[in-house]
Structure 1
Amino acid sequence: MDNHGTFSQQIDVVIYDRQYTPLIFEMHGIKIIPAESVYAVFEAKQTLNATYVGYARDKAASVRKLDRTSLAVTWLGGKSEPKKPHWILGGILTFESEWSPPMGKTMTDLLDSAPDESLLDIGCVAAHGWFGRNGDGVTTVSLNGKSVTGFLLELIARLQEIGTVPMIDVRAYARWLAEH
């Protein structure tokens, strides 16, 4: 959710930070997470195919399109500039793949053909391997017997590159709540 009351599509797995965005709302048993706190979003399915890649792309794009606020952080040494909102990682998590080979050219061509806002950055097919978009914007695949561990380590490295999420402007959310 953003400070204008706009919602993303429902997301299966969200990696978020509560340090600068402690507000987590609950509505009808569903957690509502402010857009500023989101590091990564994943679609989770039993198997990987073109339809589910499309779902994951649409869901990642729906989160990336949300408005995110950013405030300066006051600390002992003064005040920092507001942090520019980072790229939200998008991905897909599955057990298996419907393609043959499971993580071959058909998959990478499909992943590389997306518009920017719906790119999938990283994903895991537990039975076969994991994939990630490299610095040149091309999807590379790692096939090994430790696919989930390899995926997790790469995800952690990408989260480390992001650092900290921006500090949320809670007054922007308060204004929206007062108007509705």
Structure 2
Amino acid sequence: MNAPTAPRDAGAQTGTEVKPLTGQYDIAAAFRRKQSILLDSHASVRDVISHPTGLGDHSEADWVGVLKDFLPERYTVGPIFAVDADGARSEQIDVAVYDRQYSPLWFGSQAGFNIVPVEAVYAVFEVKPTIDTTYIAAACRKVASVRQLRRTSAPIKHAGGAFSATNPTSKHIIGGLLAAKASWVDRTATIAKLEEHLPAIGLDGSLDIGIAVDTIAFDYTPAPTKLGSRQGEIPLEFSAETDQLIHFGIRLFRQLQQLGTVLAIDMGDYESALARQ
């Protein structure tokens, strides 16, 4: 009986040498290119459009595109009005991150804005040309108009039984401000003004994250061990110079990860609206 032949490695079988991968991809450079494209896009349309509505629409579309390109497909991104089971409606939200997998959008749309049950909302953003004290206040008001809606919650069935209904207060709605520029003279002045004018966390109008693409990004991101909790001390942090968009994207994704999945809608609460008519 012949002795078994020892297996040859892949390189010997093909007659070629297997070499380790040596290619590199510069992630930081890719983010910075995206940052430059966003700024160039905003600047080019600003030069030819004088009407503030046209400029605003363009900026919102830019931000929708940036977030869609960055976030996984489980997240839907676009302008919305949020509504609750009592019929209350939020202010117009320029850019929202919301759920389509577990939350039916049965209310349709209005002037290009989807009407979304508040339970489906992960994050809401105000889009402005610059960050200044007036626009910070406007963003806080928009965010509060969503967080003040009543959210329902229902148990979720699974193969082994059911998960209990989640307390809506444990599912924080992220609020933020998106802008191309900061109105203050430099990065140092911008940090000082943000520290002075951003509201404390835990309020209906608190901002969790924001960016002026040409200057800085800021965020209040809970530590990973907090699992999305907004309780306790959460420091205000700022991006390093030139890394605003990188910082913003990573911190937004971290906050979304900590939230997990949106609330399961209690359809009975919404159906009861039919009996009120």
Greater Rg over alpha carbons, structure:
2
**Offset at 1:48?**
0.6
- 1:122 correspondence with 2:205: no
Q: Distance in 1 between matches of 2:202 and 2:154?
A: 29
Structure number having the greater helix percentage: 2
**Offset at 1:134?**
4.4
**Offset at 1:70?**
0.5
Q: How many residues align?
A: 180
The residue identity in structure 1 corresponding to 2:120 is: S
Give the secondary-structure state (helix, strand or coil) at the position aligned to 2:256: helix
The residue identity in structure 1 corresponding to 2:166 is: K
Give the corresponding residue for 1:106. Answer: 193
Give the secondary-structure state (helix, strand or coil) at the position aligned to 2:204: helix
- Structure 1: which 4+ aligned runs deviate by more than 3 Å? 112-115
Give the corresponding residue for 2:107. Answer: 25
Greater relative CO, 1 or 2 (CA 8 Å, sep 6+):
1
TM-score for both structures, normalised by structure 1: 0.92
1:114/1:55 CA distance change after superposition, 3 Å: farther
Mapping 1:9-24, distance limit 5 Å:
9-24=91-106
- Which runs of 5 or more residues in structure 1 are unaligned? none
- 1:174 correspondence with 2:271: yes
Give the corresponding residue for 2:178. Answer: 93
Q: Distance in 1 between matches of 2:201 and 2:120?
A: 25
Give the secondary-structure state (helix, strand or coil) at the position aligned to 1:154: helix
TM-score for both structures, normalised by structure 2: 0.61
**Offset at 1:31?**
1.2
Give the corresponding residue for 2:239. Answer: 142
1:150/1:134 CA distance change after superposition, 3 Å: closer
Identity %: 36
Pick from 116, 137, 160 the counterpart of residue 77 of structure 1. 160
Give the secondary-structure state (helix, strand or coil) at the position aligned to 1:118: coil
Whether the aligned pair in 2 keeps the contact of 1:128 and 1:143 (CA below 8 Å) is: no
